[in-house]
Chains A and B, each alone.
Chain A
């Protein structure tokens, strides 16, 4: 609940501040957002499994986003523009994995399974 509220707050903040990502770094930030979302889902999963550690989470969040952007950047530099696809696929798969586990854990907790 608090998390959804935070997401809404972030969206509102974005709408209010009227910031648009410049076209030059659009792909980097896009992949970084994906990585960040994956990290958050991973954090929720860890909290449901009672293995959550905020230091690990914060570090993972930062490194995931930065690494994702870095991979795209390097791909651009060395002429493998499609490298961003690798990041998108990797994070996409992880995202759905985490989402599935979170869903299962939540169902277990509610006793629906």
Chain B
């Protein structure tokens, strides 16, 4: 009973040490695995981010170089050339199609309508030429110049501005102004054709009243310019009905 006891103890100690070693080894293995997993996971997350940013960057760069700002001069010239060619081709198309529309309209209309159109056109031309007295809505521009500082070119500018604003007929102090009217002035006395004008001018223009007023009264426009001359006042008002005589009668 005395001798087997220490041997058994020895075996037990040995077993215990062995199992401890096994536990430590397995713990290490687990730790290594764990560390490896963390390693791969963090690297993978970083890779994911890199991939994502790469694509976003790629796309951002693609759209960046697509903007005109970043094209070389040569590229821009080519682009412009292309667009010009395309534009002229399209313009040709438009012309061709317009001609076809006109043809179709002409074919589709009966005589009465054609005559009607012609009459309308004729009326418009007569209004522009000042052959007939006309009336309609428009603006009245009251221009007083007690010191006689206005020059003929100021009136020409006014008339041009009104025409550009869509005036169909224009008169100064009851004298119809047409394409052939001349405005002259000596010593501050204005003449339209052969008619001398008094110093209180009244320009009448028939057309879209709002547009006409705007064309004169816009900031930096003629009204502002003329008002800076000494003594000159400009008053614009829109009227429902304005009547102008035919040219050559006053």
Contact = CB atoms under 8 A, between A and B. Distances in A.
Binding partners A and B? yes
Interface string B55-86: 11101111110010000000000000000000
A49 to B, nearest CB: 12
Contact of A10 (B52, B60, B61, B67): B52
A52 B43 CA distance: 10
Contacts of A33: 50, 53-54, 57
Contacts of B59: 14, 18-21
Contact of A13 (B40, B42, B52, B64): B52
B60 A23 contact: yes
A7 interface: yes
Contact of A8 (B51, B53, B60): B51
Nearest to A38: B50
B235 interface: no
A37 B63 contact: no
Given A21-B60, A23-B67, A6 B45 contact: yes
Contact of A6 (B35, B48, B53, B55): B48
A106 interface: no
Contacts of B49: 10, 36
A65 to B, nearest CB: 9
B46 interface: yes
A37 B56 contact: no
B52 A52 contact: no
B47 interface: yes
Interface string A16-32: 00111111001001101
Contact of A7 (B39, B47, B56, B60): B47
A13 B48 CA distance: 9
A75 B63 CA distance: 24
A105 B38 CA distance: 21
Residue of A6, A8, A32, A61 ringed by the most chain B CB atoms within 10 A: A6
Interface string A43-76: 1100100001010011001000000000000000
A40 B46 contact: yes
Contacts of B48: 6-7, 9-10, 13
Given A21-B59, A23-B67, A29-B60, A43 B54 contact: no
A36 B40 CA distance: 16
Contacts of B60: 20-23, 26, 29
A2 interface: yes
A2 B51 contact: no
A6 B41 CA distance: 9
B94 interface: no
A21 B46 contact: no
A53 B51 CA distance: 22
A6 B56 contact: no
B46 A11 contact: no
Given A36-B46, A43-B43, 16 more contacts: A3-B43, A6-B43, A8-B51, A10-B51, A13-B51, A19-B56, A20-B59, A20-B60, A21-B57, A26-B61, A39-B46, A40-B50, A43-B42, A47-B39, A47-B43, A54-B39
